[in-house]
Amino acid sequence: MSVDMASAHIEKTEGAPARLRRTSRVRVAQIAMDYLAYGWSVDEMCRQHPYLTPAEAHAAMAYYFDHQEEIDREIAAELKQVETAVAHSPPPPFVVRMRAKGLM
């Protein structure tokens, strides 16, 4: 597996999403989503996610701004996948009960 881009904090392998090097389960797109959805600063991201170092958060945001189209496509694909899963999932039991009672 070849590495297309690597830094002290970010690793990008061909065909895979950019990830934090130290905590590879965390994708750059996840950090960018916090910025986009909540407007969180790097400091706030680190408060909300204690495992995240300021250097990693800054590196992830720098990668996002340098590769915004790539990360935005990744986020859009993930949102579409969630919407599809929700659309094909049965309603929760609470919703079923409320509909049966005519409350929804």
Q: How many helices (H) and strands (E) does the chain have?
A: 5, 3
SS3 for 9?
Answer: coil
Mean pLDDT across 88-92: 91
Q: How far apart are CA 76 and CA 102, in angstroms?
A: 36
40 within 8 A of 31, measured Cβ to Cβ: no
Rounded to 10 deg, the angle between the 28-38 and 54-66 helix axes is: 90
pLDDT for 103 beyond 80: yes
Those residues with Cβ within 8 angstroms of residue 75's Cβ, 6 or more apart along the chain or in another chain: 29, 32, 33, 36
> What CATH number corresponds to the domain at position 64?
1.10.10.10
pLDDT category at 5 given cuts 50, 70, 90 is low
0.85 surpassed by pTM? no
Mean pLDDT across 21-44: 96
Structural domain count of the chain: 1
Domain that holds residue 62: 3-100
pLDDT at 2: 42
pLDDT at 104: 80
